Structure 1
Amino acid sequence: MRLFLSVLLVILALYCYEANAFTCPALVEDTLSFLFQNAAIYKKTREKYNLPQDAIQAKLEVKDCTDKIFLGNRILIANTLGEILKKCFI
């Protein structure tokens, strides 16, 4: 799980380096749906972007691992990511 959190923080840092109003909301939506949505619903929402099936399947495999994280810890991760994203708009 530590690797997962580290990767997310690096992604946020890269996206928010020159943050604008277009990048961060999409990132928030994707991250929250990744952490909290049912895998079947998450797959449907990713398919609307016409992504390759290999990319969707790879993301779902990672999602299977994150779904095993205790819900309270996922909420803490989401809150931490929200605090980081607030810095993008300042």
Structure 2
Amino acid sequence: MKLVASLLLITLALCCYDADATPCPEYVKEANIFILGTESQLRLSLAKFNAPPESVEAKIITKRCVDKMDYADRERFAGVLKEIVGDC
């Protein structure tokens, strides 16, 4: 549960740092893949950003930790993200 709370706070900080800001659609898509998608889907999504290989691997390692969470919890977190994006 601590991981979910941390991810939620990071998402809030990135998506809603300004009252009239709208989150980047690519970030929202990548965040959903990070939460609910597969490792291969995440690799394809990250390839668009031309990130250094070390950064991609760090994100994949974090994804493996998220994947250990119960899928229902990940779906709830994705739902919260959807609500946040709708409010921003």
TM-score relative to the length of structure 1: 0.79
Aligned to 2:40: 40
Task: Please identify, of 11-20 and 53-62, the stretch whose mean Cα deviation from structure 2 is larger.
Answer: 11-20
Task: Specify every segment of 5 or more residues in structure 1 that has no aligned partner in the other structure, as ranges.
Answer: none
User: Is the counterpart of residue 54 in structure 1 residue 32 in structure 2?
Assistant: no
Amino acid at match of 1:69: M
* Number of residue equivalences: 86
Q: Are the counterparts in 2 of residues 46 and 56 from structure 1 also a CA contact under 8 Å?
A: yes
Amino acid at match of 1:73: D
- Aligned equivalents of 1:56, 1:47: Cα separation in 2: 8
User: Residue 4 of structure 1: CA displacement?
Assistant: 4.5
Aligned to 2:13: 13
User: Is the counterpart of residue 27 in structure 1 residue 22 in structure 2?
Assistant: no
Report sequence identity in percent: 35
Aligned to 2:76: 76
- Aligned equivalents of 1:81, 1:12: Cα separation in 2: 8
User: Residue 72 of structure 1: CA displacement?
Assistant: 0.6
User: Residue 38 of structure 1: CA displacement?
Assistant: 1.2
TM-score relative to the length of structure 2: 0.81
Task: Specify every segment of 5 or more residues in structure 2 that has no aligned partner in the other structure, as ranges.
Answer: none
